[in-house]
């Protein structure tokens, strides 16, 4: 790769920069440009019904400024603007915004499209960067300023002559601001504001687009701070930013731009836009949310947002898209799963404050369920398997079962080269440990107490279809049962681990018992039993463990 053809972007001459030590305290003013930048970046632009649905959805989410298109560019765009206005589809607290170049016929057509809207932002722009001035327009700085000022005057005069009820808001973009000399950017924006004469009560918007992302986000922040600290109109303006994503850092540039003094962010849902896209407002908003800051926009049903977005744009949200992708709240890694499981358990003690490893927010806050948080494949571990069984089936595995069964699931997934679904995990657990009935099957039992510390048990078992009787004595039912089985199989058995719990709430709940048995001096084996009776589930667990022991001895 011939990297020598390219040059490093020069640093901004800014002294004592302030933005690195600041924190974002509140959400910026949002402006959606989905219907302009987003729409013009689509292979097949939205039709009228799609644009109407998307506009209404943006309103429902909470956007108060929506750039709806370029009405002077085509009859389709003009008609859409008029359709919204003439059919009274724009809430009174929502401003529609449209861009216009600094040309008389384009400005006139733009004002005609907007007339009668409750609130309208007339967005004047012209390119100001060195490259655009030299290559595209063959302009010097004075000619560039003259073009911007002439457009500003035309807009001001047309607004003054308008007698509709429209509340007019003026916006100027020094397009390609990121490639413009910082002092010249201030000069041309101030020249426009000199014409418009905004006040603190009726502010104008100055937009500083990162039209092509030419440097790291800190450089863009320096450019924004330079403008904010050098313009003479700062108190009378809303400073807006419009980052693009050529270097993949539009979200970071937006956040740093706000730290640097920007009041407003123009962007799109999921970052759809020209080339590599615009700033992703959903990501920026959710980044605020995770820090306890109200994003003002309603992202509580992320699945519906994805559905509308994909329907209207014919684009797909990637599975790893921040906050929204179908896999962003899912862990496959064993260590991650174990940490999430422990975090979710600890959350029960402080539900008012979310704090779970690897989950920066509660998935339920964006309309997702806990079901897909942990999914099992060959990379997973014991904690993930335990979480799946507990969350879906009420099975709380003891640590010995977690270690043993986690390894089994990993092996099965590795052989299959696929994920194990919760139902498959449950079946695998059931087949491996629960009520294993070969060669022994418990048919019946009877317990008698000898004294407070000793009992006897008589039990009937099927052994390879033959009914046999066993009897044993011990310091409890299970000890006596193991004593009786030991005499049949010829190995002394002891129980080293015992756990039991109800699998459901209510009087009809089933009990599950987990046991670990040990042969004299060699080997430990796990078994589980399920029954409406805790006693029966315990005996079934012992039988399961013994059957697994016999199978293991036969295979070895």
List the structure tokens of 103.
């040309």
Averaged pLDDT of the chain: 92
Query: Is the domain defined by 27-313 classed in CATH 3.20.20.70?
Result: yes
For residue range 463-481, list pLDDT tens digits in order.
888 999 999 998 888 989 9
Average pLDDT over residues 305-326: 96
Domain boundaries defined on the chain? 27-313, 334-421, 440-555
For residue range 447-468, list pLDDT tens digits in order.
887 777 789 999 999 988 899 9
Helix axes 217-230, 182-196, angle to 10 degrees: 40
110 or 339, which is more confident: 110
- Write a three-state SS string for 151-187: HHHHHHHHHHHCCCCCEEEEEEEEECHHHCCHHHHHH
Sign of CA dihedral 436, 441, 444, 446: negative
Average pLDDT over residues 207-221: 96
Rounded Cα distance, 482 and 469, in Å: 13
Rounded Cα distance, 42 and 272, in Å: 8
Model confidence at 386, pLDDT cuts 50, 70, 90, reads confident
Rounded Cα distance, 274 and 246, in Å: 9
pLDDT of residue 190: 98
Whether the pTM exceeds 0.85: the reply is no
pLDDT of residue 510: 86
For residue range 495-554, list pLDDT tens digits in order.
999 999 988 655 456 899 999 998 876 788 999 999 988 899 999 999 999 999 988 888
106 or 129, which is more confident: 106
Rounded Cα distance, 57 and 80, in Å: 16
pLDDT of residue 451: 76
**Strand blocks (E) in 359-492:** 440-451, 454-463, 466-474
Q: Where is average pLDDT lowest: 20-24, 334-338, 378-382, 407-411?
A: 378-382
Cβ atoms of 408 and 432 closer than 8 Å: yes
Sign of CA dihedral 269, 272, 278, 283: positive
The torsion region of residue 534 among left (phi > 0), alpha (psi -120 to 50) and beta comes to alpha
For residue range 157-178, list pLDDT tens digits in order.
999 999 889 999 999 999 999 9
228 or 7, which is more confident: 228
pLDDT of residue 539: 94
List the structure tokens of 386.
């335990």
CA within 13 Å, CB half, 337: 27
Give the single-character DSSP code of 385: H
List the structure tokens of 543.
């039988």
pLDDT of residue 508: 58
Q: What is the DSSP string of 211-274?
A: SS--S-HHHHHHHHHHHHHH-TTGGGEEEEEEEB-TTS-HHHHHHHHHHTT--EEEEBGGG--S
For residue range 48-90, list pLDDT tens digits in order.
999 999 999 999 999 999 999 999 999 999 999 999 999 999 9
Model confidence at 262, pLDDT cuts 50, 70, 90, reads very high
Cα 79 to Cα 51, 76, 394: the distances in Å are 12, 5, 58
- Write a three-state SS string for 130-161: HHHHHHHHCCCHHHHHHHHHHHHHHHHHHHHH
The pairing of beta strand 237-243 with beta strand 466-474: unpaired
pLDDT of residue 323: 97
Model confidence at 137, pLDDT cuts 50, 70, 90, reads confident
Average pLDDT over residues 84-103: 97
Model confidence at 222, pLDDT cuts 50, 70, 90, reads very high
pLDDT of residue 378: 65
pLDDT of residue 225: 98
Cα 196 to Cα 63, 103, 236, 247, 498: the distances in Å are 26, 17, 11, 35, 81
Q: Indicate the burial class of 279 (C-beta count within 10 angstroms; 0-12, 13-18, 19 or more).
A: buried
What is the CATH T-level fold of the domain 440-555, as seen in this structure? Double Stranded RNA Binding Domain (3.30.160)
Rounded Cα distance, 244 and 411, in Å: 45
pLDDT of residue 504: 65
Rounded Cα distance, 445 and 538, in Å: 12
Q: Give the end-to-end CA distance of the chain in Å, rounded to a whole number.
A: 59
């Amino acid at each position: 790769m011939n990297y020598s053809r390219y040059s490093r972007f020069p640093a901004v001459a800014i002294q004592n920069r302030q933005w690195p030590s600041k924190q974002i305290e509140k959400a910026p003013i949002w402006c959606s440009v989905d219907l302009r930048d987003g729409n013009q970046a689509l292979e097949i632009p939205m039709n009228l019904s799609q644009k109407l649905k998307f506009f209404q959805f943006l309103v429902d989410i909470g956007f108060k400024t929506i750039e709806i298109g370029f009405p002077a560019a085509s009859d389709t765009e003009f008609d859409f603007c008029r359709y919204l206005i003439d059919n009274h589809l724009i809430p009174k607290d929502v401003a529609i915004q449209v861009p216009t170049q600094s040309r008389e016929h384009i400005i006139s057509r733009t004002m005609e499209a907007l007339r009668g809207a409750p609130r309208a932002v007339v967005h004047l722009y012209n390119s100001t960067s060195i490259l655009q001035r030299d290559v595209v327009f063959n302009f010097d700085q004075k000619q560039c300023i003259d073009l911007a000022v002439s457009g500003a005057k035309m807009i001001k005069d047309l607004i003054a002559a308008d007698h509709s009820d429209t509340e007019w808001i003026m916006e100027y973009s020094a397009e390609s601001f990121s490639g413009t000399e910082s002092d010249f950017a201030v000069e041309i924006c101030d020249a426009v504001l000199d014409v418009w004469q905004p006040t603190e009560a009726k502010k104008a918007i100055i937009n500083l687009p990162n039209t092509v992302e030419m440097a790291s986000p800190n450089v863009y922040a320096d450019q924004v701070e330079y403008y904010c600290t050098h313009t003479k109109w700062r108190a009378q303006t809303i400073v807006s930013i419009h980052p693009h994503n050529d270097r993949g850092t539009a979200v970071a540039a937006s956040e740093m731009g706000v730290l640097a003094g920007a009041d407003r962010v123009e962007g799109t849902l999921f970052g759809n836009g020209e080339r590599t896209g615009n700033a992703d407002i959903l990501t920026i908003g959710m980044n605020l949310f995770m820090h306890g800051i109200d994003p003002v926009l309603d992202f509580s049903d992320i699945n519906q947002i994805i559905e509308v977005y994909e329907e209207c744009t014919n684009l797909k949200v990637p599975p790893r898209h921040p906050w929204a992708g179908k896999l962003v709240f899912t862990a496959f890694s064993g260590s991650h799963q174990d940490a999430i499981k422990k975090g979710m358990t600890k959350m029960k003690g402080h539900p008012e404050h979310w704090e779970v490893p690897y989950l920066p927010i509660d998935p339920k806050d964006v309309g997702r369920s806990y079901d897909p948080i942990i999914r099992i494949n060959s990379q997973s571990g014991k904690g993930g398997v335990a979480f799946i069984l507990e969350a879906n089936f009420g099975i709380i595995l003891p640590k010995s079962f977690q270690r043993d069964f986690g390894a089994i699931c990993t092996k099965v997934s590795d052989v299959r080269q696929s994920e194990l679904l919760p139902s498959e995990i449950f079946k695998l657990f059931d087949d491996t440990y629960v009520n294993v009935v070969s060669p022994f099957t418990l048919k019946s039992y009877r317990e008698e107490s000898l004294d407070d510390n000793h009992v006897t048990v008589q039990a009937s078992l099927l052994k390879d279809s033959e009914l046999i009787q066993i009897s044993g004595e011990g310091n409890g039912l299970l000890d006596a049962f193991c004593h009786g089985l030991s005499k049949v199989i010829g190995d002394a058995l002891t129980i080293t681990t015992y756990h039991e719990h109800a699998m459901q709430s209510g009087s009809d709940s089933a009990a599950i018992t987990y046991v670990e048995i040990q042969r004299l001096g060699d080997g430990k084996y796990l078994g589980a039993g399920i029954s409406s009776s805790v006693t029966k589930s315990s005996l079934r667990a012992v039988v399961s463990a013994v059957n697994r022991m016999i199978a293991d001895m036969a295979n070895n």
